[in-house]
Structure 1
Amino acid sequence: MTKGLASSGFELVTSPEWVDEILLRGADDDICLYSGGPVDRGALRRVVADAQARLAAAGLGAGGSLALRLPPSTAYVANLLAGWRLGAQVSLLDHRLTAYEVELALGRLAPQVVVEPGRVTSSPLSAFAEVEETVTARSGRPAGTPHAVIQFSSGSTGPSKVIGRTAADLVAEIERYTRIDGVPLPGERIVVLASMVHVLGLVGALLYGLHAGVQIRPPDRLTGDSVLDAVAAEPTPATVLGVPFHIGLLASVVDPPSLPQLKRMTTGGEPVPAATAAAFTGKYGVPLGNMWGMTEVGVIATDLFGEHRPALTPAPGLSVVERDGELLVSRPESPYVGLSDPDRWADGWLRTRDAGAVDPDTGLVTVKGRLDSQVSVGGLKVDLTEVEATVAGLPGVVAAVVLHDDVITAYAQLDAPATAASVQAGLAERLAAYKRPRRLHVLDAMPRTITGKLVRDRSVLRQAASGGM
């Protein structure tokens, strides 16, 4: 076992056997990744070994702590796997964070080694960067928990939470993916748009793809045309994996070519409005699949064929129940780093804070939005999720968030010729008076997290609207 800075830390955070047997196995000439050109497993194993040597030279060893802040790239993949092969705990920081946010995160994490971008030679629009990393030793702490990976929640509703997952937990999620009907199969491709720093892209694309023999193929650029070019580049079936925000990239293509390789698009994160789903399937003629998950658990439920929208089927090995209108998911231990919060996890159940229902006959799960979306107006119950979906479905509404902020308040981004007046007129036709927003703020652009989720933090939305209606 490699010794380094972490002699007093957890010495069995992870092991080379997990990385080698689950992720890196396979023939040397098996193409597993595309980064400016095909990358086979032999080449990937070499760059992982090189990264491992650099990290070990910086003092990282078994039970150590590594913070990784790189854009999606071969360097990111190599350093992630190398850190795990050394038996270290790897914390993932989004490369789009500001310097201030990075320092706050590093202060919370206190890693012993940090890997950051040095010289970036690719375009800012590149989906997979060409980057030379820098490795810096710091006077941090060894891993304080046995988790293999530390992530931060999206922060769409407030401050991010620190979430830990063990190697065994990641392997269990990879195994769940192999049992879900409709996931990419060996020999196929994932055109990945979701960030590999966050759980959908990390496990649903990178780790599952490496394990299952599915080629991970980012587009050259994050544009609609480039995504379709990536699909068309090879004859093998391709699944596009992203978040609802990325549907707009494909919707921006005026006259898409015929693409027999396109198998489906699968999105995670926010629910996709029915009108948006219908527009996508009408334009491309393939299913728009949906996934529901959390950073704390990974994938929870899916509908990859778009057959049950908005309902989903729980992922194999997970149980989902409804309790007092809230969805709970089975989880053997608390995912939160630090003291366990019994208000979020207790007795093997994690509160998702999502409102929903579970069909007693079929087991299908319907997510109805955040639990705090149920409010009372003059003694009448209003589901803000319904109001938000109605606003978002109006002509010219690009995106919308509806909150209860003393009164029902809507924030919306519009495309011409839509106006605040036309939105209010449309709502008057579609919603009872007590459900309608009393305040409507039209924003030039809706605040989003770095992963593309709409921000629902009241203070952030208020600030965005402070320039006026």
Structure 2
Amino acid sequence: MSAWIDGMLLSGSDSEISLNVGEPISCALLREEVAQRQVVLESLGLKAGGSVALRLPPSLAYVANLLAAWRIGAQVSLLDHRLTAYEVDRALERLDPQVVVSAQGTIPGGLRAFYQVTDVAEAREGSPAATAHAVVQLSSGSTGPSKVIARTAQSLIEEIERYTKIDGVPKPGERVVLLASVVHVLGLVGGLLYCLHAGVELAIPERLTVDSILKLIAASDKPTSIIGVPFHIELLASVENPPALPQLKRMTTGGELVRAEVYQRFTDRYRVPLGNMYGMTEVGVIGTDLFGENRPSIMPAPGITVREDEGELLIAMPESPYIGLTDPTRWVDGWLRTKDAGTVSPQTGLVTVHGRLDSQVSVGGLKVDLTEVEHTLAALPGVQAAVVVYDGGIEAYAVVPDPDQAGEVEAALAQRLAAYKRPKVIHFVEQLPRTATGKLVRAQSVLKTAK
């Protein structure tokens, strides 16, 4: 396994800047950091075929330990640092790694995208890797319990090479400002691994604030692309008069489709394309529209086959990405069922994602798209965020800071949606729960605890 790490990810010239995480990190320095972690991990008995879990925030320590473990030939499980101790204990019971690498002391809170931490590796009485997969991740759990998803080194290599063939991706000598977490697939492969391979400088702001992000973009003359999720776009689009940023080329978003009014506000204010990317933890990038020309549709990425089956999108995959207990219907006969509603144009091949399949419900015999209801509610004046679910009837959870506007929101919604589409009740809450990747949680058991 070490050959692909050295040949694809750590092969830059000594002086080349590979990372900018509070300070520039050259390829030579990154190789030194990786070598130091490799010595530590091997001293704890980790070897090829072994297993290690990383519970580290986005940091140089995270990157160095990840690459070091892969150089050894070990399987790496990625645990988001924002998980509670209870969630971590449950994850370790499921994954049973031989080594756990954590951050020493208390991890600072706040809207941080990058951390300076001291990493501590500890051996435990775990088990060697039960499969030949290189990385194991837990799904976001935005609609229910998380799944254990595993990918081989070959799968990661193929995705990196897939990125190199997509029109509009950053080129050598350019720069990516990454807002998505490197613990999850968009930031991990589309950000970290692709940039290391392509010779693109990867810069991560210390804080996920507008000022911190804009200052980081302005700090270099290199052509710059931003990678993030809809939450980050809404954050940047909230600035009425952003500074001129001639080096900014585009922003690309993964995750849910950006609401039309937010899309327009962002492109009007920054005057760059807002591209769309569709992917899953199980397979990585599936399709893109980096120039924003086909919104809301995307073109399948090179090497990806997408088909439509009774309104559901299916992705061709040679083997199941799941390990452990899982739903046997998710991967059948070489096809991954995405649980996403969508269509594939027979004329152009363009794929249009209509939202989660479970967002299509029947009310009195009439079809209602909960995504449409949610976007309509979220677009109303005074509404900061909204989630719409179905539990025997349509219910909504909305963040409306001004309590005097609650009645106005309900009245405005009545003007925009037919009666059968409207929520039977709107729960006004102070904040909505999100997953570690910034997605709004739609599991009703969690939403009912929102206040």
Q: Shorter-chain TM-score category? A: over 0.9
Whether the 8 Å contact between 2:312 and 2:339 is mirrored in structure 1 is yes
Counterpart residue identity of residue 144, structure 1: A
Whether the 8 Å contact between 1:355 and 1:368 is mirrored in structure 2 is yes
Which whole-Å deviations, capped at 9, do the CAs of 1:126-169 have from their partners, x for residues lacking one? 42211111110000000001100000100100111000000000
Give 1:159's match in structure 2, choosing from 137, 145, 149: 145
2:320 aligned partner = 334
Pair 1:302 & 2:288 matched? yes
Whether the 8 Å contact between 2:165 and 2:302 is mirrored in structure 1 is yes
1:4 aligned partner = none
Counterpart residue identity of residue 63, structure 1: G
Q: CA RMSD in A?
A: 1.5
Cα distance, 1:329 vs. partner? Answer: 0.9
Q: Any idea what SS the aligned residue of 2:118 has?
A: strand
Counterpart residue identity of residue 142, structure 1: P
2:276 aligned partner = 290
1:93 aligned partner = 79
Counterpart residue identity of residue 319, structure 2: E
Q: Any idea what SS the aligned residue of 1:397 has?
A: coil
Which whole-Å deviations, capped at 9, do the CAs of 1:319-365 have from their partners, x for residues lacking one? 11110110111111100012564310011110000011111111111
Whether the 8 Å contact between 2:48 and 2:74 is mirrored in structure 1 is yes
Q: Any idea what SS the aligned residue of 1:82 has?
A: helix
1:386 aligned partner = 372
Whether the 8 Å contact between 2:113 and 2:181 is mirrored in structure 1 is no
Cα distance, 1:36 vs. partner? Answer: 2.2
1:228 aligned partner = 214
1:430 aligned partner = 416
Count of residues paired in the alignment: 451
Which whole-Å deviations, capped at 9, do the CAs of 1:114-133 have from their partners, x for residues lacking one? 00001479785442211111
Counterpart residue identity of residue 18, structure 2: C
Structure 1 spans left out of the alignment, 5+ residues: 1-14
Pair 1:128 & 2:91 matched? no
Structure 2 length as normaliser, TM-score? Answer: 0.97
Give 2:305's match in structure 1, choosing from 319, 323, 326: 319
Whether the 8 Å contact between 1:321 and 1:327 is mirrored in structure 2 is yes
1:269 aligned partner = 255
Pair 1:395 & 2:410 matched? no
Q: Any idea what SS the aligned residue of 1:240 has?
A: strand
2:4 aligned partner = 18
Q: Any idea what SS the aligned residue of 2:159 has?
A: helix
1:186 aligned partner = 172
Q: Name the CA distance, whole Å, in 1 between partners of 2:203 and 2:108.
A: 16
Pair 1:29 & 2:15 matched? yes
Give 1:143's match in structure 2, choosing from 111, 119, 129: 129
Structure 1 length as normaliser, TM-score? Answer: 0.94
Which whole-Å deviations, capped at 9, do the CAs of 1:438-461 have from their partners, x for residues lacking one? 111111111111211100001111
Whether the 8 Å contact between 1:122 and 1:131 is mirrored in structure 2 is no
Identity %: 65
Cα distance, 1:225 vs. partner? Answer: 0.9
1:354 aligned partner = 340
Q: Name the CA distance, whole Å, in 2 between partners of 1:426 and 1:124.
A: 34
1:38 aligned partner = 24
Whether the 8 Å contact between 2:401 and 2:430 is mirrored in structure 1 is no
Structure 2 spans left out of the alignment, 5+ residues: none
Relative distance call for 1:108 and 1:143 in structure 2 (3 A) is same
Cα distance, 1:392 vs. partner? Answer: 1.7
